[in-house]
């Protein structure tokens, strides 16, 4: 495949970014011309609170709107499915001297279906050798055709211990994961608990 992109990126004022491009793509499915547009606007409500909103869009100008899909269990040989979409998001961040809180929610409507990603996190700066973090990622997919509807959630907790002057450094991360896929013929569910620990001792 081959891709040619011509576009403009601008920052008209503070905390704003505008992206616009026209693309010519040649793949095994034939030529396709499409245009992308993106806009991100940030707001600072106070010294600690900030918000961001954004929009991202892709529209086909000439050629097929989507690439032909195989069965739901057949992965692509390379690349990704080309399709028109409209995505919007809102994000927020709270930053204190000791800890930071973030969150982002998005909605993506495409030819293949709708997706709702959400991510959030909390991080505590190092204090007396300890630092903590908590992260949540969730994705909901309602897809068209024979593709399965899916829900996936990953809750992650991490702890680091690295005190000044100590010979020990310890990292630990725990993941709680849950997945679900639903098709007209069957339903699949999976749950996992994964813990990773790394300890390092420096002799001298």
Cα gap 201→112, rounded to integer Å: 51
Query: What pLDDT shows up at residue 69?
Result: 52
Q: Is the pLDDT of residue 68 over 70?
A: no
Q: What is the pLDDT of residue 74?
A: 53
Q: What is the pLDDT of residue 73?
A: 52
* Section 122-141 average pLDDT: 90
Residue 70 has pLDDT above 70, yes or no: no
What pLDDT score does 2 carry? Answer: 83
Structure confidence at residue 66 as a pLDDT band (50, 70, 90): low
Task: Calculate what percentage of the chain has a pLDDT beyond 70.
Answer: 91
pLDDT digits (tens, 9 = 90+) for 78-99: 445 567 889 999 999 999 888 8
The pLDDT score that the predictor gives to residue 156 is 97
pLDDT given at position 84:
87
Q: How many Å apart are CA 95 and CA 12, to the nearest integer?
A: 26
**Whether the predicted pLDDT of 17 surpasses 90:** yes
- Specify the pTM: 0.76
Q: Read off the pLDDT of each residue in 26-44 and give the average, rounded to a whole number.
A: 87
Counts for the chain of helices (H) and strands (E), in that order: 0, 11
Task: Give tens-digit pLDDT for 180-194.
Answer: 998 878 889 999 999
Span 127-149, average pLDDT: 87
At residue 76, the pLDDT reads 46
DSSP 45: -
Mean pLDDT over the full length of the chain:
87
- Average pLDDT on 13-30 reads 87
């Amino acid at each position: 495949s081959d891709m040619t992109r011509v576009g403009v990126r601008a920052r008209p004022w503070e905390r704003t970014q505008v992206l616009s491009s026209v693309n010519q793509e040649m793949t095994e499915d034939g030529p396709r011309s499409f245009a992308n547009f993106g806009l991100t606007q940030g707001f600072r409500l106070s010294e600690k609170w900030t918000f961001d909103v954004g929009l991202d869009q892709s529209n086909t100008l000439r050629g097929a709107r989507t690439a032909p899909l195989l069965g739901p269990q057949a992965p692509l040989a390379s690349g990704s499915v080309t399709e028109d979409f409209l995505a919007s998001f809102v994000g927020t961040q709270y930053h204190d001297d000791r800890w930071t809180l973030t969150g982002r929610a998005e909605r993506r409507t495409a030819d293949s279906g709708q997706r709702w990603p959400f991510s959030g996190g909390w991080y505590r700066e190092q204090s007396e050798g300890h630092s903590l973090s908590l992260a949540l990622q969730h994705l909901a997919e309602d897809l068209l055709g024979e593709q399965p509807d899916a829900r996936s959630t990953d809750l992650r907790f991490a702890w680091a211990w690295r005190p000044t002057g100590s010979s020990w450094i310890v990292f630990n991360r725990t993941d709680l994961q849950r997945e679900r896929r639903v098709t007209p013929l069957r339903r699949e569910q999976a749950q996992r608990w994964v813990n990773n620990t790394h300890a390092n001792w420096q002799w001298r």
